[in-house]
Structure 1
Amino acid sequence: MQYLFFSIMFAIGTDTFLISPLLPTLQSLFDVPTGSAGWMMGAYTLGSATFALIAGPLSDGWDRKKVLLCGLIGFAVSTILCGFAVDFWTMCLFRFMAGVSAAFTAPQVWASIPALFPPARIGKALGIAYAGLAVSQAFGVPIGSLLAAGHWSYPFWAIGLGSLLLAAAVAVAVPAMKPPLRPGAKPSVLSRYVALLGSGRARGTFLAYFFVHLGAGAAFAFLGKWLTDRFSLSIDETGYAILFLGLGNLLGSLCSSYAVKALGPHRAMATGMLFAIAAYVAVPYMPSVSLVTVVYFFLFAVLGVLFPLMVGLLNGLNPTVRGTISSLATSTMNAATTVGAWTSGMLYAAFAGYSAVGLFTGICLACSLLVFVSSGVLTSAEEQAEPKAG
């Protein structure tokens, strides 16, 4: 079942990033000015970020399997419709619908794993599911670009039809996950967030999660431009470098549970974060693209270890509202990535280079580590793990 979740996250990740290489083709096809073309990408993110805040709390009161199944079917249909878009506005509409459907789908994957797997296997299952996102960045988008060489609609149809097959697999393989019966009226969407964020440990953990994505988003947003400016790489060469980073991320995510088990949550987080801080600050000063690529490979491998750990910490905050937690995490990630990309652009322009971006990312990760430690969530995770180790 963990590989089914891997496949779902691979499909969603590929669809998320697919529009980027197709943007010039679609802009020309629909006769869209450059200033407006970005909405074909933004419509998806807008739908996902907005409805994730609603989807999570609602799903905590429903059968999680049905929410996952309906979201996946909606995602498949809306993605297929993207291949039939006739103009800019229909493409934006279908991309928005795909984002909304993804908001009901992806958080259910993260919320379902702790409910379906025994505690000893949760970390590994989360790592494998996260690997689906890593593989989508490394291979999904390039494969989509190859399909688009035949016709721009082929990647959308391939992802949509593949998602329908995944929906059929969910219907057969995933058991029902009905919410526990509670006396009285069902809590509202707002009350679920109030109950969750009333805990200082939860607020601290989400703040730390925001900081890490703020820094990582800033660093990644202008990585391609910096590689081109600093080392005069072509678009293809930059793509190969980023492909290599995706492989590092995949390796780390697959090894995440083993690393966390060997080191413990506290030591794994501290060691990984300190390495990442040093790497982000040092990379802008490295003399060759080969050295940069090697360091970034190991950096993304470390992040591949850390992100499933963070998702596990978040899901452990309150087992009764895992859908709310996963959805808030999705919105937190999207918001932090957006702010990070905007900040990165200002820093890159103001200081004419990547060094300020690397320093900003290092500061963000240092803040994240400090908040993770001070929130107490890592200590709690260590205490829960100790009996199992003994």
Structure 2
Amino acid sequence: MSRMTFLLFLVMFVIGTDTFLISPLIPTLQQLFHIPTESAGWMVGAYALGYALFALIAGPLSDGWDRKKVMLSGMVCFSVSTLLCGFATGFWSMFLFRFLAGVSAAFTAPQVWASIPVLIPTPKIAKASGIVMAGVAASQAFGIPIGSLLASIQWSYSFFAIGTFALVVAVFIYYALPEMKPDQDQTSKTPIFGRYIPLLNSPTARRALFAHFLFQCGFFASFSFIGKWVTDRFHLSIDQAGYLMFFLGFGNIVGSLCGAYVIQTFNRFNTLVAGFLVSIACFIVLPYLPSVAAFESVYFFIFVTMGIAFPLILGLLNSLNPTIRGTISSLASSIMYAATTFGSWIAGLIYASFNGFSAVGLFAASCFAGSLFLFIFSGILAHDAKTKKEFAA
């Protein structure tokens, strides 16, 4: 692993850890801040909302700025806002600090994906992308359980640890990352939001991006309330919920590492269809499983399939137009976090209304079914020649 790849891995690891940390903390923070269940999802949604709104601006802007400065500034702000979460005194202060953390991440994470083709030699880009993507999976397997264990001592310790680690990563960015200044002749020709026009004009892109929204909405609706569900159903403590997250995150790592081999063996279409169908079945049966072991086993398969499908989908989206990778990466991230906001909000409402996870599982299964249909209907799985003609027109 090269120094640059490892640094980008660390950036995604710390952002991924902060993204998912709230899930196992929801029962504790809900009790501490006296938050009703139907509103608890907004502690996840606040971060996602900040990311979703500002990624739309960050992507086009960053295509015209030095990516190192954008990544460094974003990581420093991310560190400060995450540290402030540890000082939250109620729902609204936590909402504000999580929102600011999401805004900071919106300027940081897309730079990672846009920087890989610049920093990494072409023959090694696919391998480097897989390693960097594994940073998100590793955050679920290791970052979240560690944060949960710290939170079992004092809930604020997890935010302090992540915020401090993010500051250390910012120092590494300052000293190790080279400047990546844009080609001013190219970036000045197109208005900032005009860079979205090629995507909005493409039927393939529109359908694929909406399919991406449904995919993320279903997954995060389910994921946001895992901690709440296992606490209510199986009476697990916060540190036990952290161990559960470790096991699930390990499934994501397995999927990320074996994804390239699976796709090469079965092709993109078969891999995506099989993964989605397995996940739909798992979401439907999850609420009726009799034990923690059974729940872990089924959800493990969901995370394995997500570890395979998520990089596949991002790769397809980024291939839509290679000339605006930063814009596409930011738009895809914005859609993901908009879906997280909507999904966690809906999950909170239906969890409270139906007093359990059954409706959440059905909602997630429905989203995945709609997403699969749109991915197939969009033609993105076999779009290479067709899409080039669309964008050239």
**Structure 1, unaligned stretches of length 5 or more?**
385-390
Per-residue Cα deviation, 1:307-365 (whole angstroms, up to 9, x for no partner): 01111111111122222212221221122223223333454455555444333322321
Matches within 5 A, 1:218-233: 218-231=221-234, 233=236
Q: Which residue of 1 aligns with 2:254?
A: 251
> 1:283 & 1:39 partners in 2: Cα distance?
23
Secondary structure in 2 matching 1:57: helix
Aligned residue pair count: 382
> 2:228 & 2:384 partners in 1: Cα distance?
39
Per-residue Cα deviation, 1:156-207 (whole angstroms, up to 9, x for no partner): 4433332233223223443433333436944333212223221112111111
Q: Which residue of 2 aligns with 1:74?
A: 77
The reply on whether 1:296 has 2:299 as its aligned counterpart is yes
Q: Which residue of 2 aligns with 1:208?
A: 211
Q: 1:335 aligns with which of 320, 338, 342?
A: 338
Contact 2:146/2:242 (CA < 8 Å) preserved in 1?
no
Q: Which residue of 2 aligns with 1:53?
A: 56
> 2:10 & 2:46 partners in 1: Cα distance?
24
> 1:357 & 1:37 partners in 2: Cα distance?
15
Secondary structure in 2 matching 1:13: helix
**1:119 deviation in Å?**
5.2
**1:223 deviation in Å?**
3.5
CA 1:160/1:255 → structure 2, altered by over 3 Å: closer, same or farther? same
Q: Which residue of 2 aligns with 1:105?
A: 108
> 1:228 & 1:161 partners in 2: Cα distance?
29
> 2:345 & 2:93 partners in 1: Cα distance?
27
Q: Which residue of 2 aligns with 1:270?
A: 273
> 1:3 & 1:132 partners in 2: Cα distance?
9
> 1:349 & 1:184 partners in 2: Cα distance?
48
The reply on whether 1:34 has 2:29 as its aligned counterpart is no
Moved more, 81-90 or 143-152: 81-90
Moved more, 170-179 or 265-274: 170-179
CA 1:105/1:241 → structure 2, altered by over 3 Å: closer, same or farther? same
Q: Partner letter of residue 377 of structure 1? A: I
Q: TM-score, normalised by structure 1?
A: 0.83
Q: Partner letter of residue 135 of structure 1? A: A
> 1:326 & 1:297 partners in 2: Cα distance?
27
The reply on whether 1:344 has 2:347 as its aligned counterpart is yes
> 2:55 & 2:194 partners in 1: Cα distance?
16
> 2:155 & 2:231 partners in 1: Cα distance?
27
**Structure 2, unaligned stretches of length 5 or more?**
388-393
CA 1:181/1:15 → structure 2, altered by over 3 Å: closer, same or farther? same
Contact 1:264/1:382 (CA < 8 Å) preserved in 2?
no
Q: 1:125 aligns with which of 109, 125, 128?
A: 128
Contact 1:126/1:312 (CA < 8 Å) preserved in 2?
no
Cα RMSD for the two superposed structures? 3.4
Contact 1:123/1:308 (CA < 8 Å) preserved in 2?
no
> 1:227 & 1:152 partners in 2: Cα distance?
18
Q: Which residue of 2 aligns with 1:368?
A: 371
Secondary structure in 2 matching 1:34: coil
Q: Which residue of 2 aligns with 1:188?
A: 191
CA 1:349/1:169 → structure 2, altered by over 3 Å: closer, same or farther? closer
Q: Partner letter of residue 344 of structure 1? A: A
Per-residue Cα deviation, 1:80-137 (whole angstroms, up to 9, x for no partner): 4555678887665544433221110011112222443355544433332232222223
> 1:109 & 1:308 partners in 2: Cα distance?
14
Contact 1:10/1:135 (CA < 8 Å) preserved in 2?
yes
CA 1:131/1:372 → structure 2, altered by over 3 Å: closer, same or farther? same
Secondary structure in 1 matching 2:279: helix
> 1:77 & 1:4 partners in 2: Cα distance?
20
Q: Give percent identity, aligned residues only.
A: 57
Contact 1:60/1:320 (CA < 8 Å) preserved in 2?
no
> 1:344 & 1:37 partners in 2: Cα distance?
10
Q: Partner letter of residue 74 of structure 2? A: G
Q: 2:177 aligns with which of 174, 186, 192?
A: 174
> 1:356 & 1:23 partners in 2: Cα distance?
19
Matches within 5 A, 1:144-183: 144-147=147-150, 154-182=157-185
Contact 1:123/1:312 (CA < 8 Å) preserved in 2?
no
Q: TM-score, normalised by structure 2?
A: 0.82
**1:288 deviation in Å?**
3.8
> 2:97 & 2:352 partners in 1: Cα distance?
34
Contact 2:140/2:248 (CA < 8 Å) preserved in 1?
no
**1:297 deviation in Å?**
0.9
**1:239 deviation in Å?**
3.9
> 1:15 & 1:184 partners in 2: Cα distance?
32
Contact 2:45/2:342 (CA < 8 Å) preserved in 1?
no
**1:299 deviation in Å?**
1.8
> 2:161 & 2:81 partners in 1: Cα distance?
12
> 1:39 & 1:215 partners in 2: Cα distance?
16
CA 1:81/1:351 → structure 2, altered by over 3 Å: closer, same or farther? closer
